[in-house]
Amino acid sequence: MFKFNSFVWKKWHNIFVQCSILFLCNHQCLFAQNNRTISGKVTDGKNPVQGATVRLQAEIICDTTDASGFFQLPIKEEIENGMVTAWKEGYYNSGIEIGQNYTNIELALSPLPEDNADYEWIDPAPTPILKKVASLVFGEVKNCGDCHPDLIYKQWINNGHSQAAVNPIFLNLYNGTDSKGNADIHPGYKLDYPHSAGNCSNCHAPAAAVRNPVGVDMNSLDGVEKMGVSCDFCHKIKDVQMQKNTSAKSGIDHMDLRRPPEGHQMFFGPYTDVPNPDAYSSTISESIFCAPCHEGGYWGVPVYESYSEWLASPYAKKGVTCQDCHMPPDMVTTNFAPGRGGVEREPMTIPSHFQLGSRDSTFLASAVEMQTKTKLSNGTLQVTVEIENVAAGHHVPTDQPMRNMILVVTAVDVDGNNLLYTGGNRVPYWGGRGDPAKGYYEGLPGKGFAKILFEPNPQYVASKVGVKGMHLSPAPQWRVVEIKEDNRIPALETDVSVYDFQTNGKNLPIVVTTTLIYRRTFKNWSDMKKWNLKDIPLAVNSVQVN
Amino acid sequence: MKDLKSNIIFELVSASVVFFLILGCQKESPPIPAKFSLVIPNGLDSLLVQIPEDNPMTAEKIALGKALFFDERLSLDATVSCAFCHNPLQGFADGREVALGIYGLEGTRNTPTLVNRLFSRDQNWDGRAKSLEEQILEHIQNPYEMRNTFENLVNTLKAVEHYRKAFQIVFGTEVTVEGIAKAIASFERTLLSGSAPFDQFITGESGAISKSAERGFVLFKSKRVNCIACHSGQNFTDEKYQNNGAGMDKQEPDWGRFVYTKNDTDKGKFKTPTLRDVTRTAPFMHDGSVRTLKDVVAFYNEGGIPNKYLSKHVKPLHLTEQEKTDLVEFLKTLTGRNALFFTEQFSSSN
């Protein structure tokens, strides 16, 4: 299990962002003058290829071929066991070992395959021992985890993407069940649309969805398709096109996949210097790569908006991508396939596959900072709470609208009594109605942050599923909803809220405590579904007023 | 009122009872077509019904049509049923400006109500469908509505046992597209709105509508206001096409019936809708651009929206505030008592 350390992230973040331009967007060349060179030609098998990026593997220095396909790379010292690599848009990466001869090196590029719908997806998990033994007889099995076991696979298997198709919360919402297995518990997609498989699979089980668009029942998955957003799937995406009206399309609909024909393989990655079957893709390092599944809606209503939130944020202008924060280098890995053809690289050039999200409390907490100020005058204690979105390149909370944040403000006098609250801001109904000690915060001095969907015309639901599911509020995103309110905090912006308490000026000191928590789902939903989800504390301030 | 309500309930309930009895029958006993007599509510004229000769109404067929009407499997991804837009609880419309279809795609026109289709022949705002049956088939295929193909639809329904049985009973065939359309159309022909307070008033029941509404009715049929020029007859429509200017001020206006007939004289013309149950089908006009009945009266008071093809019946009316209120009050008396019945009937049938 990998725990992300926010300290490391904060320390390295700026350096990383600057360096990433240098290392990862590595078809842009840095050319240094030097006397000793390696030179040669890049062809497509017959004709010279112009504009190919050529580099020494895992080095920064590179060159772009001219009209005759010629390249020249400066070197500092003699090279042993080095490799020259080449790439151009539309081709696989190509590589050749450098021998004794430093000139007339010829690199041939082969074109990318057309997409093959019959392709069989690779299993991410390392091959079990028994199968390995069998493979000695029946031929080799190569799963993702066989070559990238310790870091990349383990990072991925512990993140949300690997669980996308089997996450019990997701399946409870899909089937209309609860965590104890009871049926007919709203909200449930299948309760509202009993005959529809839905387009959930477009993102939650993309490998299945491509064989049967809008027809894959999430309960019918098997094998690799159950592995969610798997290694092989993402690394088969050549390009992403996002259209303005995203409502009619989602997930796989936006993607240009390249699944190779039988007997061939193909992976897209952020490197031009990993030879065939890999190919460089600039998209894989850009925010738009994540957009198909983190931007979209139902019935014309934008539900998931992380990508457009990012687009409108200062981060987009600075060029800080989703991957920069959600896939930061672990600063440990120097070789992503040790002993399996991988080479030693700068740790900074190897993105982790943590894909950090709402599962990681430390990561979540690093997104916001809270300050609490107090003012005592004329018998009134005024508490001002400033919550700044300091590190998320999108709103907090974001993505699935059931994610929410709740601020609770308490002021207790020296005798341990709560001060009388005279202000207006209170935790909304979805903070939960009941005993505050048990996490039901509705009505307490405080505030809720969320995008709230509601159903303006619940009559259709009533005529279909009866009144039981009708008045569910906040409403689930698959219904015909409208956005009632959206007070989430955009990137680098600050929410300021004020809370007034009555005090007689005695009974000092007063202790003001402000607590900001994150919930993965609304309290009333988690109660109905019997999900035992813990509140994730993001920030706590305690101020003593004398 | 109670009589009518219980009558219709009896008819429909008996229809479905017979239907399920037949489903439960043994194979050897041949299905007997259940006798079906349609109850025409007070105020509607049974001589004006439009039932195609090749699609007589039977109890089993109506029951099958009702099941299909509420079945989302009619659409490609099984999310959009007929009732999705023609929601019984919203006057068999959807309360939206323009229709919402599969994948959340928006259409271009407001969803019209389904009540009293029994008295109309041509369907859609532009009258392009020559029958309810034709209209149903078109909307199943419409890429902005159900986006389905006939082949896929038939295959989907064939996989459902009770549909296979029902088609055998009703049509004596496999599941067919024509059968789907005929059954749904037959069900839709049972959706009738009459016995409104206005109908009681017009048959001499004093006090059935308010004084204000009575004054509104006088205005409605007066030469000066002349709503009745188009909203005429028992169903408050002449089933003809008019240009009242709605949406004509848009940059690219919807040319309505012209798109279908290509006659210049049809530019911007849309079918006169029924005013029965009109309180339940806001917003109004073919593009849903007018939100309330008050706004509708104001719209006509202004003389519609001027354009080259504006109907001669639409002209500034110079109504007083009281007259405007009276007209709205009158329109409110056209909502049938069976609106309540529909609400109860369909909200309890899951």
**What pLDDT is stored for residue B35 in this prediction?**
59
**What pLDDT is stored for residue B13 in this prediction?**
38
Which residues have CB under 8 Å from A240's CB, separation 6+? Answer: A254, A255, A256, A283, A288, A289, A291, A292
Among A296, A322, A349, the domain boundary falls at A349
Whether residue A437 lies within 8 A of chain B, CB to CB, comes out as: no
Domain-located, residue A520? yes
For chain A, the farthest-separated pair of C-alpha atoms sits apart, in whole angstroms, at 91
Higher pLDDT, A425 or A466: A425
Residue with tokens 């089997």: A166
Around Cβ B218, how many Cβ atoms within 10 Å?
13
CA distance A414 to B135: 75
Q: Residues 502..521 of A with a Cβ closer than 8 Å to B: which? A: none
Task: Tell me, yes or no, whether A271 and A152 share the same domain.
Answer: yes
Q: Which helix (H) or strand (E) holds A382?
A: strand A380-389
A230, A186 Cβ separation under 8 angstroms? no
Domain with A396 in it: what CATH number? 2.60.40.3880
In chain B, the domains with their CATH numbers are 2-193+337-348 (1.10.760.10), 197-332 (1.10.760.10)
A35-55 average pLDDT score: 89
Q: A424 to each of A253, A378, A386, A515, A542, how far by Cα in Å? A: 45, 19, 17, 18, 21
Task: Tell me, yes or no, whether A179 and A277 share the same domain.
Answer: yes
Using an 8 Å CB-CB cutoff, list chain A residues near B91: none
Q: Does residue A455 have a pLDDT over 70?
A: yes
Domain-located, residue A60? yes
Chain-chain contact of B79 with A248 (C-beta, under 8 angstroms): no
Report residue A7's pLDDT band, with 50, 70 and 90 as the boundaries: very low
Report residue A147's pLDDT band, with 50, 70 and 90 as the boundaries: confident
Query: Quick check: is B145 catalytic?
Result: yes
**Residue B135 burial (C-beta neighbours within 10 Å; 0-12, 13-18, 19+):** buried
Using an 8 Å CB-CB cutoff, list chain B residues near A459: 87, 89-90, 347
**What pLDDT is stored for residue B9 in this prediction?**
39
Higher pLDDT, A37 or A92: A92
Task: Tell me, yes or no, whether A281 and A415 share the same domain.
Answer: no
The answer for B114, left when phi > 0, alpha when psi is -120 to 50, beta otherwise, is: alpha
B161-174 average pLDDT score: 96
pLDDT digits (tens, 9 = 90+) for A275-304: 889 999 999 999 999 999 999 888 888 999
CA distance B45 to B65: 24
Task: Tell me, yes or no, whether A135 and A250 share the same domain.
Answer: yes
Q: Tell me what the pLDDT averaged over chain B comes to.
A: 87
Domain with A94 in it: what CATH number? 2.60.40.10
Task: Tell me, yes or no, whether A251 and A307 share the same domain.
Answer: yes
Q: Does residue A316 have a pLDDT over 80?
A: yes
Q: Does residue B308 have a pLDDT over 90?
A: yes
CA distance B47 to B60: 24
Whether residue B70 lies within 8 A of chain A, CB to CB, comes out as: yes
Angle at B349 between CA B346 and CA B350, to 5 degrees: 115
Whether residue B166 lies within 8 A of chain A, CB to CB, comes out as: no
Domain-located, residue A266? yes
Domain-located, residue A475? no
B329, B213 Cβ separation under 8 angstroms? yes
**Chain A nearest CA to B13, separation (Å):** 17
Report residue A339's pLDDT band, with 50, 70 and 90 as the boundaries: confident
CA distance A137 to A76: 47
User: A383: helix, coil or strand?
Assistant: strand
A245-259, A355-369, B147-161: which is most confident: B147-161
Task: Tell me, yes or no, whether A254 and A390 share the same domain.
Answer: no
Distance of CA A254 to the CA centre of its chain: 17
**What pLDDT is stored for residue A28 in this prediction?**
57
A518, A538 Cβ separation under 8 angstroms? yes
Q: Which of A196, A457, A462 sits opposite B95 (nearest CB)?
A: A457
A167-175 average pLDDT score: 96
**What pLDDT is stored for residue B29 in this prediction?**
45
Around Cβ B302, how many Cβ atoms within 10 Å?
14
pLDDT digits (tens, 9 = 90+) for A387-435: 999 999 999 999 999 999 999 999 999 999 999 999 989 999 999 999 9
Q: What are phi and psi of B325, to 5 degrees?
A: -60, -45
Distance of CA A221 to the CA centre of its chain: 23
CA distance A100 to A90: 31
**Chain B nearest CA to A441, separation (Å):** 35
Whether residue B148 lies within 8 A of chain A, CB to CB, comes out as: no
Using an 8 Å CB-CB cutoff, list chain A residues near B73: 195
For the stretch B35-54, what's the b/e string if a residue is b when 16 or more beta carbons lie within 10 angstroms of its beta carbon? ebeebbbbbbeeeeeeeeee
CA distance B40 to B216: 26
Task: Tell me, yes or no, whether A433 and A301 share the same domain.
Answer: no
User: B331: helix, coil or strand?
Assistant: helix
B7-15 average pLDDT score: 40
Task: Tell me, yes or no, whether A379 and A327 share the same domain.
Answer: no
**What pLDDT is stored for residue A15 in this prediction?**
43
DSSP A24-51: TSTTS-B----S-EEEEEEESSSSB-TT
Among A304, A328, A349, the domain boundary falls at A349
Among A349, A370, A398, the domain boundary falls at A349
Query: To 10 degrees, what angle do helices B59-69 and B177-188 make?
Result: 100
Nearest Cα residue in chain B from A215: B77
Torsion of Cα atoms, A467 then A166 then A204 then A465, to 10°: -10
Using an 8 Å CB-CB cutoff, list chain B residues near A299: 100, 104
CA distance A463 to A467: 8
Domain-located, residue A247? yes
Report residue B133's pLDDT band, with 50, 70 and 90 as the boundaries: very high
Q: What are phi and psi of A364, to 5 degrees?
A: -60, -45
Nearest to B25 by CA among B35, B34, B36: B34
Whether residue B89 lies within 8 A of chain A, CB to CB, comes out as: yes
Q: Terminus-to-terminus CA distance in chain B, angstroms?
A: 26
Report residue A99's pLDDT band, with 50, 70 and 90 as the boundaries: confident
**What pLDDT is stored for residue A465 in this prediction?**
63
Using an 8 Å CB-CB cutoff, list chain A residues near B97: none
Which residues have CB under 8 Å from B101's CB, separation 6+? Answer: B80, B85, B107, B142, B144, B145, B146, B147
**Chain B nearest CA to A466, separation (Å):** 6
Whether residue A471 lies within 8 A of chain B, CB to CB, comes out as: no
Whether residue B41 lies within 8 A of chain A, CB to CB, comes out as: no
**What pLDDT is stored for residue A82 in this prediction?**
84
Nearest to B247 by CA among B239, B256, B257, B238: B256
CA distance A213 to A252: 9
**What pLDDT is stored for residue B16 in this prediction?**
42
Q: Which of A195, A196, A459 sits opposite B87 (nearest CB)?
A: A459
Q: Residues 102..131 of B with a Cβ closer than 8 Å to A: which? A: 103-106
Q: B69 to each of A52, A64, A390, B185, how far by Cα in Å? A: 60, 64, 52, 9
**Chain A nearest CA to B72, separation (Å):** 7
Domain-located, residue A74? yes
Task: Tell me, yes or no, whether A212 and A175 share the same domain.
Answer: yes
Whether residue A476 lies within 8 A of chain B, CB to CB, comes out as: no
Nearest Cα residue in chain A from B347: A463
Mutate to test the interface with B, among A464, A467, A482 (most CBs of B within 10 A): A464
Whether residue A483 lies within 8 A of chain B, CB to CB, comes out as: no
Whether residue B144 lies within 8 A of chain A, CB to CB, comes out as: no
CA distance B216 to A159: 68
pLDDT digits (tens, 9 = 90+) for B94-125: 999 999 999 888 899 999 999 999 999 999 99
Whether residue A297 lies within 8 A of chain B, CB to CB, comes out as: yes
Using an 8 Å CB-CB cutoff, list chain A residues near B347: 459, 462-463, 467
Q: Does residue A1 have a pLDDT over 80?
A: no
**What pLDDT is stored for residue B284 in this prediction?**
97
Percent of chain A's residues with pLDDT above 70:
89
**What pLDDT is stored for residue B23 in this prediction?**
42
Report residue A529's pLDDT band, with 50, 70 and 90 as the boundaries: very high
Chain-chain contact of A299 with B100 (C-beta, under 8 angstroms): yes
Q: Which of A214, A459, A460 sits opposite B77 (nearest CB)?
A: A214
pLDDT digits (tens, 9 = 90+) for B310-329: 999 999 999 999 999 999 99
Chain-chain contact of A300 with B106 (C-beta, under 8 angstroms): yes
Percent of chain B's residues with pLDDT above 70:
86
Q: Does residue A10 have a pLDDT over 80?
A: no
Report residue A21's pLDDT band, with 50, 70 and 90 as the boundaries: very low
Q: What are phi and psi of B98, to 5 degrees?
A: -125, 160
For chain B, the farthest-separated pair of C-alpha atoms sits apart, in whole angstroms, at 71
Q: Which residues pair with B271 in a beta bridge?
A: B241
Task: Tell me, yes or no, whether A170 and A233 share the same domain.
Answer: yes
Task: Tell me, yes or no, whether A512 and A367 share the same domain.
Answer: yes
Total domains in chain A come to 3
**Chain A nearest CA to B86, separation (Å):** 9
**Chain A nearest CA to B110, separation (Å):** 16
Task: Tell me, yes or no, whether A412 and A307 share the same domain.
Answer: no
Domain-located, residue A532? yes
- What domain range is A198 assigned to? 129-349
Q: B46 to each of A419, B43, B49, B192, how far by Cα in Å? A: 73, 9, 6, 11
**What pLDDT is stored for residue A512 in this prediction?**
96
**What pLDDT is stored for residue A466 in this prediction?**
63
Tokens representing B50?
């439009």
Q: Which helix (H) or strand (E) holds B209?
A: none
CA distance B273 to B270: 9
**What pLDDT is stored for residue B255 in this prediction?**
95
B17-34 average pLDDT score: 44
Chain-chain contact of B76 with A466 (C-beta, under 8 angstroms): no
Q: Which of A196, A248, A462 sits opposite B72 (nearest CB)?
A: A196
Using an 8 Å CB-CB cutoff, list chain B residues near A464: 70, 83, 350
Q: Does residue A170 have a pLDDT over 60?
A: yes
Percent of chain B's residues with pLDDT above 90:
76
**Amino acid letter, A187:** P
Domain-located, residue A116? no
Tokens representing A475?
């409403």
**Chain A nearest CA to B350, separation (Å):** 5
Report residue B12's pLDDT band, with 50, 70 and 90 as the boundaries: very low
Annotated catalytic residue within B60, B145, B239, B329: B145
The mean-pLDDT minimum among A487-496, B17-26, B277-286 falls in B17-26
Nearest Cα residue in chain A from B85: A460
The mean-pLDDT minimum among A108-112, A242-246, B182-186, B241-245 falls in A242-246
Report residue A246's pLDDT band, with 50, 70 and 90 as the boundaries: very low
A487-516 average pLDDT score: 92
Q: Which residues pair with A83 in a beta bridge?
A: A97
Report residue A34's pLDDT band, with 50, 70 and 90 as the boundaries: low
**What pLDDT is stored for residue B339 in this prediction?**
62
A507-512 average pLDDT score: 89
Q: Terminus-to-terminus CA distance in chain A, angstroms?
A: 45
**What pLDDT is stored for residue A266 in this prediction?**
93
